[in-house]
Every structure is written in structure tokens, then in C-alpha cells.
Amino acid sequence: MKILLVEDEVLIALEQQLYLENVGHSIIGPAITATEAVEIAAADKPDLALVDVHLGMGTNGIDAARGLTKLGVPCLFITSFRDELKKDGPLTGIGCLPKPFTESGLIAAVDAARAILAGETPRNVPQTMELFV
């Protein structure tokens, strides 16, 4: 899958990139603001976006996910701020994997998202992952 990282913490983005490239995914980004995420997605058409809630320059991942969804890019939240996803109206996205995550947890969460997008029942969903669909 081609995956857009929407994450303002460079070390976390590098960790995600390393884990996902090691299992064959193609990574674009990271985008550090909501605007940058939408611009990158419009140009590169990712299959999935991994989105943090708190982004750089006062922007947030909820707004990024709304913009990405309008472009047809499904989103999976990867965040420490899961509660903030529920206070802003209807949830946009496939689900949420809380930080901190493990390598196996991130890979399994992306695989669950891939299965959902393919119309399949996800297997091996991480225990900490919350699905919205």
C-alpha cells in the first residue's frame, strides 16, 4: 500500500516509516500540518493515511482526516489523544491505534485497515485498536 504519514513528531514518523517499509509498504510524507497532508494526498493519491491528532502549526489531524476523506483517502488515527476524536462530531476514519504502539501493533493495524478497505473481515486486530467501521 502507498501510505501517507501525517505526523509532526519526526522520530515517530521515521519509526512508522521503518516498520512499514520493512513489510513492503510505500511511504509518502510525513505531512506535519493538515494543509500539507491534503496537498500531498492530492498530488500523490495514497491508499491510506496514518494521522496523528495533534499536528504542527496549530492544526489538527481531525481536520486533516476530513480533508483527506473528501479526496477519497481513508484514514487511520495513530494518536495518544483518542478521546479528542469523539468530541468533535461524527468520527472520520477507519479506527484508532493508540500511541505508544509496537512494531507488530502498527503492522497489524495497517493490515486490518487494508482488509476493511478490501471488504474483508480484518484478522489479528491489535487489542488496543478501536475500529470505527
**Residue ranges per domain, the chain?**
2-131
Whether 132 shows a pLDDT value over 80: the answer reads: yes
pLDDT at 92: 80
Contacts of 108 (CB under 8 A, 6+ apart): 124, 125, 126, 129
Give the tens place of pLDDT for each residue, 16-40: 999 999 999 999 999 999 999 999 9
pLDDT at 88: 64
Angle at alpha carbon of residue 114, lines to 71 and 104, rounded to 5°: 125
Whether 74 shows a pLDDT value over 90: the answer reads: yes
Task: Say which CATH architecture domain 2-131 belongs to.
Answer: 3-Layer(aba) Sandwich (3.40)
pLDDT at 89: 62
Q: How far apart are CA 67 and CA 120, in angstroms?
A: 25
pLDDT tier for residue 85 given thresholds of 50, 70 and 90: confident
Give the tens place of pLDDT for each residue, 90-118: 678 999 999 999 999 999 999 999 999 99
Determine how β-strand 95-98 pairs with β-strand 130-131. antiparallel
